[in-house]
Structure 1
Amino acid sequence: MRTDLLGLTTDSLAALTNRGLVKRAGKEAAPELRTDPDGTVHGSFSDGPATTLPPGGLDAARCTCGAAGVCRHVIGVILAYQRLSAEAPPAPLPWSPGQVTDDELTDKIGARLMAAARRTERAGFTARVRRATSADPVPQVELATATVRFLVPGDLGFVHTDAVAGSRDDVIALAVWAFRVADALFPGVPEVRVDVGGRAESGAGSGLERALGLAGTVLREGAAHLGEGLDATIADVRRHLDAAGLRWPLLAVGDLAEQLTSYRDRGAHYRPELLASHIAELHARHRTVTRPDATPRGSVLGTAEAAETPLRRARLESLGCRVRGVGGRRIAEVYLVHGDSAMVLVLRRQWDGDDDGAALALRRIGTSTLAALATGTLVTESAVRSASRTVRLAGGRISKTTISPSRGAWGELPPSLVVTDFAALGRELDALPLRHVRPRVEAELVRVVAVAGVEAVTYAPGDQRLDAVIVDRAGNTATVRATHTGAAPGRLDSLAAVLAGEEGEPRHLSGVVGRTAGGLVVEPLGLAAGGRVIAPDLQPAGESSRLVVAEDDRHEPLTAALIDTRDLLAEVAHHGLSHLPPSYDDRLAAAAERLTMLGLHRMAQAVTAFAARRTHDSEEAAEQAWIDAYLRLDVALDLS
């Protein structure tokens, strides 16, 4: 009996081929079947084709119909075998992909790819392991470069990855090794993030020395005193990080450079606390891999991540769009769910000029428009994803991409992306590694949030910010928060209209989830209402009469103290250590006293230590003291 064929569900077959092919096969007349002693299944169809399925997976199947790859006849033989089998498939035994041996892996992917996988393991990598459950009986591993699914227990012939066949088969070995670590350290946990391999290189340097030098220059001089003369240094640092494969620090330096450019061009995107956070992040990553109990480099520096991986034929569901202005450019980011891997990818486009979101909505992307892409369903064979989960459409194959309007049926997306319980989301956020050292993955915290009700929608004029309180079915609340920008002048009015039910009952909302001031916050990207998807950033500016002004926007005392002190420290990145005003020391002392009164003694001590180092010690000592204090404040606000 071929238990591998009996264990394949229609979803598994669709993952290995495509759903349309499975449907067509189901409508075909059943073939005549016979089985050889070695388990090979033969099928003869009345219209002529003959199909052979030896053990070892669909790639080993052969058919005389002449179709390239797996055809509908192969699927038809599997379906017929399942229908005619006299015995029901045995109940699946508890099984983990970690039980696969290295010899079996070598037989599957070959010695060359096993050697490539070993190199990745030596560098270290991070993976998210999801064990089989009653809701999803397929165990899977989410890697930065691909998602690997084990469709049939114990049979590597039926492993599915979302990478193009043959391009990254080494990920199968990485996924097996990730399961081994999870089985050893976290037995029985349904979903867990693990660090695999890697060597702690205490005292050996991080490779970030040039990036830290750049960060030191910015901290000493400040954005307000840096001109274009630093551009060559930034370019050199980025080339060095790219050549060394340090993906996450490379992205941090890119964001740091963007903040400096935004300030120089008087862009609204510039924020001193963001610039300061990027500086602190580089130091945090350096410290994490060089301390005595160092964390494996791969998970902190991204050394094991391939720059790009081509995807198989993919169906991507849009969750909306974000538009922002940086200098004289407009950047649009479309968020796309890859259902097979339960992952959100970001497609980014930029244009010169000052067009707003409504005008950009009409811009062409391939054979369609930004608006159609941001509110539709995309089926493509030309998608290429990066380590940070951006995605691009390969130019030479753009004709193999089709886009259709989305119904906004986001409740059907993979459960790991759909939030129905705000309390459970809070626990998920609490379990994440610290933001400053975890993998820099685009859209990592993008989720679809089910909206059971809208309690209030208010507007804070000073911050030009809309806050909407939404509730889940259990009555837990979260805040939907959006800020006005000239690049998307219709954002707030469109969001308010949808939440008020003017576009139909809002069922789901997509956005970046996080914590602020002790509560859950969602920065919205799109909404599903009235059987369609709405992208607020692409809507024209409207009337603001529906926005109700908030009565009181003050934080509670502890959070307010943390924010004020963090912002005070961020002024260093803006003005520079060498250019701080005479009153700055007094303000530091007052901030430390305020923290002490609230019982935040360690944070107060860190602020006081920075003040002392700035007055009495070298600039380098002052920089390190600033890093200590800023990281404490930034982490505290993330966890508050």
Structure 2
Amino acid sequence: MNSLRPELLELTPQALTALSNAGFVKRSLKELENGNVPEISHENDALIATFSDGVRTQLANGQALKEAQCSCGANGMCRHRVMLVLSYQRLCATTQSTEKEEEWDPAIWLEELATLPDATRKRAQALVAKGITIELFCAPGEIPSARLPMSDVRFYSRSSIRFARCDCIEGTLCEHVVLAVQAFVEAKAQQAEFNHLIWQMRSEHVTSSDDPFASEEGNACRQYVQQLSQTLWLGGISQPLIHYEAAFNRALQAAETCNWRWVSESLRQLRASVDAFHARASHYNAGECLHQLAALNSRLNCAQEMARRDSIGEVPPVPWRTVVGSGIAGEAKLDHLRLVSLGMRCWQDIEHYGLRIWFTDPDTGSILHLSRSWPRSEQENSPAATRRLFSFQAGALAGGQIVSQAAKRSADGELLLATRNRLSSVVPLSPDAWQMLSAPLRQPGIVALREYLRQRPPACIRPLNQVDNLFILPVAECISLGWDSSRQTLDAQVISGEGEDNVLTLSLPASASAPYAVERMAALLQQTDDPVCLVSGFVSFVEGQLTLEPRVMMTKTRAWALDAETTPVAPLPSASVLPVPSTAHQLLIRCQALLIQLLHNGWRYQEQSAIGQA
């Protein structure tokens, strides 16, 4: 029996959840525990499960789970298909010993992939011609996976390609699966054993000696970006928009002509920050704007260096096409999505107010966001957290899990849902939902997070398809809590994870668009009957401290989306809990403040004073 369908033995509950849904898996496990075990047989290379109520499910050799035939009459996936796999696994576990895991060889699938429709293979080769790069993960004991610029592929079975899942609209046996297999085969030929690798696909159109700025378009893009940077530094972003509007447009048009997605997205992010500054938006962050401008120029400089190393036969840490995002599509259609909320941020400016909710797909680990805005005149009667999105209140979405059909994802990670694409269900967020998530999103503690941040590449070469400073951390104990009225910020220090120096700083600034968020945070950290055990939020360095700005706080019974709080909670404890920065950090803080001052007001108008302060 074990040799008949070995690929089914590899399907973990997590894999079955990804191939069907969590409800089917939970119900199937419960029914099996209650004794509703089907009779397993096989005939003509097909595995058959016969249930006590007469339902008969048949899974032929070479079929995917959703292709199985079932007499229950359900369209698509059903619990009987899941129970067939689980029952078969239990039967094999009792009749045969577990064989030692063999080394994975994806090359066995090349012959089968060659029989796919011509259209699928042509789409795959078109992506190869653009010089696509694929991030490969193949750690022992973990599911092999491939992260493409706009799709994620996971190989839930090392024996059958039919159980590979992609989060694109096709779901399986698509061009992304083809490319993932090809990348693994090529990478293993060069380096037999690896846990993590970035692999660039090459064709006759992509040579190792090409230069991103050798073409007229590439050189023009670099020049226009440099001109924009010089304009902003000399005049400052506080100057009227008309002074740099043309420079932004020239640089953006040049980046789009080159089809360098991360360069164009960098320009859009920078422009959004500049617009937020002029609109006096609550979510404007001066340090982030400074970082965006610096990273924009650094991205092009890094691309030049990666190309230079490649041209002399040296393997670059990251291919230059990955640095600039060459050939990445602006949108991608997604398959059936199950999303878990990571939190919400409300904002307002002089004309609009709105919100952004972040979700993660537990099957792939990718992060998406949903954004909406409305005229400021409607805010008093309809606060952002109470607005309805697709018939559900925003606060419920921020503290829940959702299922969506036929969605799209933009290049910057935005979840695009048309009005007709209703969310089919929303259930409250639970600690179990977050426990299913893995690294790097969910970290075991602040010590592990520091190490991860030290080892990852610089921001100027990382892709911009999703936020990469959003994490989930454990909370064991709150050791100090206080409201700093001078900074209008609630600070706390908590124990997070094991090891030395495991104190995590939580800081949440007050916001007029979410006035009771700080009160809810203070109340949660002080309660003892249902203490906070997990927290999600954005990580940054504040006055030399690795600091997390909380978005959701999870107790043992429920999740609290802080910005969804719409009523007063409790008074704030007044205290200063943050340590005094060291002399070195104080100098760095002054340096950053001076750079921000120059960025706001321009070098041209404060050259002498800036030199004196420096």
Using the size of structure 1 for normalisation, the TM-score is 0.81
Give the root-mean-square deviation of aligned CA atoms: 3.3
Q: CA distance change for structure 1 residues 532 and 245 in 2, over 3 Å: closer, same or farther?
A: farther
CA drift at 1:290: 2.1
Q: Secondary structure in 1 aligned to 2:157? A: coil
Stretch moving more, 468-477 or 83-92: 83-92
How far apart, CA to CA, are the structure 2 residues paired with 1:479 and 1:185? 44
How far apart, CA to CA, are the structure 1 residues paired with 2:492 and 2:193? 38
CA drift at 1:153: 1.2
Name 1:117's counterpart in structure 2. Answer: 124
- Indicate yes or no: 2:114 matched with 1:88: no
Name 1:40's counterpart in structure 2. Answer: 46
- Indicate yes or no: 2:163 matched with 1:165: no
CA drift at 1:369: 0.9
Q: Secondary structure in 1 aligned to 2:416? A: strand
- Indicate yes or no: 2:60 matched with 1:53: yes
CA drift at 1:487: 2.2
How far apart, CA to CA, are the structure 1 residues paired with 2:389 and 2:374? 11
Alignment of 1:328-477 (within 5 A): 328-353=351-376, 355=379, 359-398=383-422, 400-416=423-439, 417-474=441-498, 476-477=502-503
Q: Secondary structure in 2 aligned to 1:339? A: coil
How far apart, CA to CA, are the structure 2 residues paired with 1:168 and 1:439? 25
- Indicate yes or no: 2:520 matched with 1:520: no
CA drift at 1:313: 2.3
How far apart, CA to CA, are the structure 2 residues paired with 1:538 and 1:503? 22
CA drift at 1:429: 0.6
How far apart, CA to CA, are the structure 2 residues paired with 1:282 and 1:168? 37
Q: Secondary structure in 1 aligned to 2:490? A: strand
Deviations 1:430-467 (A, max 9, x none): 11111122112333231211101111113333322222
Q: CA distance change for structure 1 residues 97 and 519 in 2, over 3 Å: closer, same or farther?
A: farther
Deviations 1:585-606 (A, max 9, x none): 322xxx3xxxxxxxxxxxxxxx
How far apart, CA to CA, are the structure 2 residues paired with 1:168 and 1:283? 39
Name 1:260's counterpart in structure 2. Answer: 274
Q: Secondary structure in 2 aligned to 1:20? A: helix
- Indicate yes or no: 2:6 matched with 1:3: yes
Question: Letter of the aligned partner of 2:6 in structure 1?
Answer: T
CA drift at 1:102: 4.0
Q: Secondary structure in 2 aligned to 1:224? A: coil
CA drift at 1:233: 5.1
Q: CA distance change for structure 1 residues 365 and 273 in 2, over 3 Å: closer, same or farther?
A: same
Contact 1:7 1:89 in 2 (8 A): no
Contact 2:169 2:406 in 1 (8 A): no
Stretch moving more, 408-417 or 369-378: 408-417
Question: Letter of the aligned partner of 1:538 in structure 2?
Answer: A
Name 1:313's counterpart in structure 2. Answer: 336
How far apart, CA to CA, are the structure 2 residues paired with 1:372 and 1:551? 32
Stretch moving more, 308-317 or 90-99: 90-99
How far apart, CA to CA, are the structure 2 residues paired with 1:532 and 1:11? 23
Deviations 1:549-591 (A, max 9, x none): 317764211122122223323333222233225323322xxx3
Contact 2:483 2:576 in 1 (8 A): yes
Contact 2:55 2:70 in 1 (8 A): no
How far apart, CA to CA, are the structure 1 residues paired with 2:586 and 2:442? 32
Q: CA distance change for structure 1 residues 463 and 183 in 2, over 3 Å: closer, same or farther?
A: farther
How far apart, CA to CA, are the structure 1 residues paired with 2:363 and 2:381? 30
Q: CA distance change for structure 1 residues 9 and 352 in 2, over 3 Å: closer, same or farther?
A: same
How far apart, CA to CA, are the structure 1 residues paired with 2:155 and 2:54? 34
Question: Letter of the aligned partner of 1:164 in structure 2?
Answer: I
Match of 1:14 among 13, 17, 26: 17
Contact 2:346 2:356 in 1 (8 A): yes
Q: Secondary structure in 2 aligned to 1:396? A: coil
Between Structure 1 and Structure 2, how many residues are aligned? 581
Stretch moving more, 123-132 or 416-425: 123-132
Contact 1:306 1:387 in 2 (8 A): yes
Alignment of 1:164-203 (within 5 A): 164-165=169-170, 169-180=174-185, 183=188, 190=195, 192=196, 194-197=198-201, 199=208, 201-202=210-211, 203=213
Question: Letter of the aligned partner of 2:113 in structure 1?
Answer: L
How far apart, CA to CA, are the structure 2 residues paired with 1:195 and 1:570? 38
Question: Letter of the aligned partner of 2:200 in structure 1?
Answer: V
Q: CA distance change for structure 1 residues 410 and 499 in 2, over 3 Å: closer, same or farther?
A: farther
Q: Secondary structure in 1 aligned to 2:181? A: helix
Name 2:314's counterpart in structure 1. Answer: none
How far apart, CA to CA, are the structure 2 residues paired with 1:186 and 1:119? 25
Name 2:315's counterpart in structure 1. Answer: none
Q: Secondary structure in 2 aligned to 1:194? A: strand
Q: Runs of 5+ in structure 1 lacking a partner?
A: 592-640
Q: Secondary structure in 2 aligned to 1:418? A: coil
Alignment of 1:530-545 (within 5 A): 531-540=557-566, 542=568, 545=571
Contact 1:3 1:89 in 2 (8 A): no
Deviations 1:30-79 (A, max 9, x none): 3563322xx33456667375735132433553456654334455445445
- Indicate yes or no: 2:34 matched with 1:30: no
Q: Secondary structure in 1 aligned to 2:590? A: helix
Q: Secondary structure in 1 aligned to 2:383? A: helix
Match of 2:515 among 489, 513, 516: 489
Q: Runs of 5+ in structure 2 lacking a partner?
A: 203-207, 311-317
CA drift at 1:505: 0.7
CA drift at 1:20: 3.4
Contact 1:315 1:380 in 2 (8 A): yes
CA drift at 1:516: 4.5
Name 2:313's counterpart in structure 1. Answer: none
Alignment of 1:586-597 (within 5 A): 586-587=612-613, 591=614
- Indicate yes or no: 2:167 matched with 1:143: no
Q: CA distance change for structure 1 residues 71 and 507 in 2, over 3 Å: closer, same or farther?
A: closer
Q: Secondary structure in 1 aligned to 2:103? A: coil
How far apart, CA to CA, are the structure 1 residues paired with 2:59 and 2:67? 9
**Identical columns (%):** 23
Question: Letter of the aligned partner of 1:437 in structure 2?
Answer: I
Match of 1:572 among 575, 598, 609: 598
Q: Secondary structure in 2 aligned to 1:409? A: helix
Q: Secondary structure in 2 aligned to 1:377? A: strand
Contact 2:133 2:322 in 1 (8 A): yes
Q: Secondary structure in 1 aligned to 2:478? A: strand
Match of 1:106 among 86, 108, 114: 114
